[in-house]
Amino acid sequence: MNRKPIFAANWKMNKGPSETEDFIKSFLSKVQGQTFNSEIVVAPPFVSLAKLADLLHTATAVQNAHAIQTAAQNCSQFDSGAYTGEISVLMLREFFVHYVILGHSERRSIYGETDAIINAKLKKAREANIRPIFCIGETLAEREAGKLESVLRTQVTEGLRDLSEKDLSETVLAYEPVWAIGTGVTATSEQAQDAHQFVRSLIAELYGQDTAAKIRIQYGGSVKPNNAAELMACPDIDGALIGGAALEPQSFLDIIRNGTQEA
Ligand code: PGA
């Protein structure tokens, strides 16, 4: 099964519009003339989406900037109305957002997002034809208590509840062990591969083998230029969701290069 790897920069609460401009200009100058056998996605904070859309539009016009796709880091589960501080999927559409990161462990643990809320957001994203990057992953305590598989099973089953096969086919999964996020501790390639294989088997249970073979599952958690190649060589790992190491254009590019081949 040929699945195109997808490398997504999750900037979290970093880079307003001017830093976004610096990053994108530098990144585009480094990749000029090259194409990769992978998809490249950048998820800036909401307030930088307009700048990003603008820069990519201009760059595409003048130098055929190979497609960087835009992602949001969150969306509301509601359409509009009295939800102070929230951003709807239709608003995101206006900024040409292709993807939205949902279910990130920081949203789960700091903002109390439950599987049911994440499920509602996934559906809302699909209604607007935005592709979810749906994050799942266990804490260290859960792993040590032998609960890895039951945690992943609940997150996957509840998060994807009533999502059609068509909508799932437009979704990317991201396995991110919570203990590896921002800690510098990466899962070994065996640990990551085992978890990815298990997640793919869950998708097969829910949606059948064909769909499971096609869905892309990113790994996330302290991915760096020096561990990308080994992780990406695992058969069930289809790209990476990258936080800290995607804040510098060169380091993000090195991860993409080391984890994929030039076209
Ligand atoms: P990290 O973050 O690469 O800094 O560990 C990954 C993520 O939170 O998506």
Alpha carbon distance 161, 247 (integer Å): 34
Query: What CA–CA distances, in Å, run from 59 to 21, 81, 93, 233, 247?
Result: 12, 35, 20, 32, 20
Helix (H) or strand (E) holding 8: strand 6-10
Residue minimizing CA distance to atom 1 of ligand 1: 243
Cα separation, 230 vs 211, in Å, equals 25
Q: Which residues contact 167 (CB under 8 A, 6 or more apart)?
A: 122, 123, 126
Q: Using the mean position of ligand 1's atoms as its centre, give its distance from the Cα of residue 219 in Å.
A: 10
Supply the Cα-derived Rg of the chain in whole angstroms. Answer: 17
Mutate to test the pocket of ligand 1, among 42, 99, 176 (most ligand atoms within 8 A of CB): 176
Active site residues: 104, 176
- Residue 198 falls within a domain, yes or no? yes
Structure tokens at 17: 């519009």
Question: Closest ligand 1 atom to the C-alpha of 241?
Answer: 9
Instruction: Say yes or no: CB of residue 10 within 6 Å of ligand 1.
Output: yes
Q: Which residue carries 């709807």 as its tokens?
A: 88
Check: CB of residue 202 under 8 Å from CB of residue 225.
Answer: no
- Using a cut of 0.85, tell me whether the model's pTM lies above it: yes
Is 232 within a domain? yes
CA distance 205 to 224: 32
State which of 100, 223, 254 you would mutate to test the pocket of ligand 1, scoring each by most atoms of that ligand within 8 A of its C-beta.
223
Answer whether 186 contacts ligand 1 (Cβ < 6 A): no
**Cβ(49)–Cβ(21) under 8 Å?**
no
Q: Return the residue matching tokens 């509601």.
A: 78
Q: What is the pLDDT of residue 62?
A: 54
Span from the CA of 248 to the centroid of ligand 1 (angstroms): 13
Q: 252 lies in a domain?
A: yes
Q: Hey, is 114 helix, strand or coil?
A: coil
Q: Which range marks the domain in which residue 200 is found? A: 6-259
User: Cβ(181) to ligand 1 under 6 A?
Assistant: yes
Q: Is 182 close to ligand 1, i.e. is its CB under 6 Å away?
A: yes
Pair 199, 174: CB distance under 8 Å: no
Say yes or no: CB of residue 243 within 6 Å of ligand 1. Answer: yes
In this prediction, residue 58 carries a pLDDT of: 80
Ligand 1 site, residue 221, Cβ cutoff 6 A: yes
Mutate to test the pocket of ligand 1, among 7, 10, 110 (most ligand atoms within 8 A of CB): 10
Q: Is 129 helix (H, G, I), strand (E, B) or coil?
A: coil
Please check whether residue 93 lies inside any domain of the structure. Answer: yes
Pairing outcome for strands 239-242 and 39-43 = unpaired
Which sign, positive or negative, has the C-alpha torsion 173, 179, 183, 189?
negative
Spans in the chain with pLDDT lower than 50: 64-65
Question: Hey, is 181 helix, strand or coil?
Answer: coil
Contacts of 212 by beta carbon, 8 Å cutoff, 6+ apart: 200, 201, 203, 204
Is the CB–ligand 1 distance for residue 223 below 6 Å?
yes
Tokens linked to 70: 């835009």
Give the Cα separation of 122 and 235 in Å (integer): 26
Residue 68 lies in a domain: yes
Contact 124/95 with Cβ under 8 angstroms? no
How many structural domains compose the chain? Answer: 1
Give me the CATH number covering residue 77.
3.20.20.70
Q: Is residue 1 part of a domain?
A: no
